[in-house]
Structure formats: structure tokens, C-alpha cells
Amino acid sequence: MTFSMPPESFRTLRPEPAARTSRGWDVALTIVPLVLLPLLALAASYAGVLLAFASDACGSTTCNTGLMNIGFWTAVISPWVVLVIGVIVAIVRLVRRRLAFWVPLVTVVAVVAVWFVAAALVGAGVSAS
């Protein structure tokens, strides 16, 4: 027994999407930096703690301690927040079989950039007289 379909229905059929294959090099180039990223976050957090010594210059001048506190806590906490976001994005991209090797690289740049912004906030708080 055969069933026939009218010709116009053939135009609506779509081929099955091809399954994406996992790339071994992409998985390796993603996992190795992801394993090393906590060391960078730890170093950036430690450097953020050292920003507390910027308040030594506030002995004879007036400093904006609120701005310094915001910069200090941003430098201490933000590397870990950026790390968690980067790891989540990389894992989601790997599970969906998308290229993910660039995610740890962007995460490294983001950790460093956020730390320098936080250090600039601390510096602005010191020079606010």
C-alpha cells in the first residue's frame, strides 16, 4: 500500500539538519585554559586586596573612601564573577557543539580589564581631594 502526496506538499518538507561533530582540538583548547583560569582569578583577587594599601596616601589629604571601597571590592570579587560567567558560557557552547576556544581568551581579557577599571576607581578615590 502506498500513499501519495500532492506535489505542493513536497516544497514544505525540509531535510534533516546534519549532526554537528565535536572537534577534539576545540574541546582541548577550551578545557586547558578553563582549568588555569582560577589561578588568574586568584592572582587578580590578591592584587585587588593589595589595593587597600592605596589608602596610605590618605593620611594628610581627604580621600573619597566610598569610591575607594567600591573599587576595592570590585577588584576582589569581579574576577570570580567573570570566571563563573566564562565557564558557564564555555560549557554551554561545548555542549551545543559550537566553537568555544575563544571564550576562555575573552574571559582572561575581561578579568584583566575589570581589574584595571577597579584599580582606576581606587586611584580616583585617592586623588579626590
pLDDT value at position 54?
A: 87
Contacts of 129 (CB under 8 A, 6+ apart): 61, 62, 63
Q: How far apart are CA 35 and CA 75, in angstroms?
A: 21
pLDDT value at position 104?
A: 96
Indicate the SS3 state at residue 16: coil
Residue reference for cell 570570580: 80
Contacts of 101 (CB under 8 A, 6+ apart): 25, 26, 29, 30
Q: How far apart are CA 66 and CA 55, in angstroms?
A: 12
pLDDT value at position 25?
A: 87
User: CA-CA distances (angstroms) from residue 48 to 21, 91, 98?
Assistant: 42, 27, 34
User: Is-contact 51 122, C-beta < 8 A?
Assistant: yes
Tens of pLDDT, residue by residue, the chain (129 residues):
666 666 655 556 666 666 667 688 889 999 999 999 999 999 999 999 999 998 887 876 788 889 999 999 999 999 999 999 999 999 999 999 899 999 999 999 999 999 999 999 999 988 765
pLDDT value at position 61?
A: 72
pLDDT value at position 19?
A: 65
- DSSP secondary structure string for all residues of 55-107: GGGGSSS---HHHHHHHHHHHHHHHHHHHHHHHHHHHHHHHTT---THHHHHH
